[in-house]
Amino acid sequence: MKVNQLFFLSFALVVTLAPPPLFGQVDEYQKKRELMVDRDIRGRGVKDKRVLDAMLKIHRHLFVDESQRSKAYADHPLPIGEGQTISQPYVVALMTEALHLKSTDRVLEIGTGSGYQAAVLAEIVKEVYTIEIREVLAGRSAERLKILGYRNVTVRNADGYFGWEEHAPFDAIIITASANHVPPPLIKQLKEGGRLIVPLGSTVYFQMLTLVTKKKGDIDVEQITPVAFVPMTGEVQKKK
């Protein structure tokens, strides 16, 4: 399969997805989600109700391997295979809130991973386009998001450095892997006034979460907080 080929949601999942609870029932993870949101997200300063509601609604345990489900609502990353992780819930919420999203927005995500961040975005905005360079993860996430009913998310297996020109311009872009610079094609694909958030830095142990806003062809840069993400791969590693 070629790297730039779109996935048509035909991959089999390696995890079992349970159906949502019936009306009036409380699923076994609900209290853990409530605690996660109250203590680790709202309790650490995230205020956007849409973000809080999305993370309360989404069953994060369905985005990790069955062996990791007991840890799914702890505030730390978890392995998802292929040397990648699902991000810490607080960081997912922080990055989402920082983009100041609107319901009509079209958002590009670089680094689909498990699909969890894409699901959070999909609860808030009109359209989500998400790119994953690892074929296995792209396939799993495409199928997972389809099963969970996210019709406003499109998954592509490609190198996110180049963005997704066919669907540009984007109101916002979120990069969920660290990079030593902001890829120029992504700046080009941002709308005027668009926002891009990225863990920016050259080490594997420390980066600065950075918000870039496009204004009159130039960019404003705001540093938010130190973070630690797995590195972005592909073309970005050739550029220093």
For the chain, which domains are there?
A: 78-238 (3.40.50.150)
CA dist., res. 80 & res. 59, Å (int)? 15
Query: Strand runs (DSSP E) across the chain, as ranges?
Result: 78-81, 84-86, 106-110, 127-132, 153-157, 170-175, 190-200, 207-215, 218-227
Interval 22-42: pLDDT, tens: 444 457 899 999 999 999 999
The token pair that represents 20 in the structure block: 């949502």
Q: In which band, very low, low, confident or very high, does the pLDDT at 151 lie, cut at 50, 70 and 90? A: very high
**pLDDT tens figures, 185-233:** 999 999 999 999 999 997 777 899 999 999 987 899 999 999 999 999 9
- Please pick, among 87, 114, 141, 178, the residue that the annotation labels catalytic: 87
Say what the pLDDT of residue 240 is.
60
CB-CB contact of 145 with 115 (8 Å): yes
- What pLDDT was estimated at residue 237? 87
- pLDDT computed for residue 4 by the predictor: 44
Give residue 199's pLDDT: 97
Highest average pLDDT, of 9-23, 110-124, 208-222, comes from: 110-124
* 224 φ, ψ (degrees, to nearest 5): -105, -60
Total-model pTM: 0.89
CA–CA distances in Å: residue 85 to residues 68, 77, 177, 229, 230 = 12, 6, 10, 9, 8
Cα→Cα distances 95→6, 99, 101, 177, Å: 26, 7, 11, 12
Q: Left, alpha or beta for 24 (phi > 0: left; psi -120 to 50: alpha)?
A: left
Residue that is written with structure tokens 């999909």 in the block: 122
pLDDT at 235: 92
**44-83: pLDDT as tens digits:** 999 999 999 999 999 999 999 999 999 999 999 999 999 9
Decide if pLDDT at 19 tops 80.
no
Q: Which residues contact 67 (CB under 8 A, 6 or more apart)?
A: none
Q: Which residues pair with 157 in a beta bridge?
A: 132
CA 59 – CA 54 distance, rounded (Å) = 10
Note the pLDDT of residue 38.
98
Chain centroid to CA 26: how far?
Answer: 27
Question: What stretch of H or E contains 120?
Answer: helix 116-122
What pLDDT band is residue 3 in, cutting at 50, 70 and 90? very low
Active site residue 141: no
The continuous run of DSSP H or E covering 116 comes out as: helix 116-122
Taking 70 as the threshold, does the pLDDT of residue 21 lie above it? no
